[in-house]
Amino acid sequence: MLDFSSEIKLQTTRSGGKGGQNVNKVETAVIASLDIAASQLLRDEQKAIINEKLSNRINSEGQLWVKAQTFRTQLENKEEAIRKINELIDAALKKKRLRIATKPSKAVKEKRLEGKKQFSQKKEARKKLRPKDYL
C-alpha cells in the first residue's frame, strides 16, 4: 500500500450543513488533491490505470480531488482526506479477479426438475374438476 501523503496538496474551506455561526467562520473542511501525472510514486502503467478507473474523480488538469468534512476538526478531516485518496488509488490498482465459469452438477439439475414436477402437480391438483374431463 502506497502512502501519497507527501504528494497531496491540502486546502481548507468552510464546511456546509448544520452548525450555526461556527460553520460560517471556521474552515474545517479539507479538499485534498493529488496530481496523478506528476506523481513520483506511480509508474506510467499505474497512472494510465488510475486515469481510466477514476476518470469521474479526476479533473481536466489531471488532479484527483477528494473533499472531507465529516469531522469537526481540521486535523481529523485532513487525515480522512489523505486516507480516502490512498484507498481510492489502492482500489483502482487492485487487479480484478477473473470469474471461472462453472456448470451445474447433475444432482442440482435433477433437484431442479424434481421441484418443477412437484410444483406442476400442486397446480394440477388446484384445478376445478369438470364432467367432460372424465370422458
For the stretch 57-92, pLDDT in tens is 888 888 889 999 888 888 999 999 999 999 998 988
d(CA 113, CA 77): 57
High-pLDDT (> 70) share of the chain, %: 90
pTM above 0.75, yes or no: no
CA separation, residue 14 to residues 10, 34, 91, 128 (Å): 14, 20, 29, 72
d(CA 97, CA 78): 33
> How is residue 33 written as a grid cell?
488533491
- Confidence at residue 1, expressed as pLDDT on a 0 to 100 scale: 66
- 3-state SS, 5-56, equals CCCCEEEEECCCCCCCHHHHHCCCEEEEEEECCCCCCCCHHHHHHHHHHCCC
Average pLDDT of the chain is 85
Q: What average pLDDT does this structure show over 105-132?
A: 91
Q: What is the distance, to the nearest Å, from the Cα of residue 12 to the centroid of all Cα atoms in its chain?
A: 26
Confidence grade of residue 120 (pLDDT, cut at 50, 70, 90): very high
- Confidence at residue 47, expressed as pLDDT on a 0 to 100 scale: 87
Confidence grade of residue 51 (pLDDT, cut at 50, 70, 90): confident
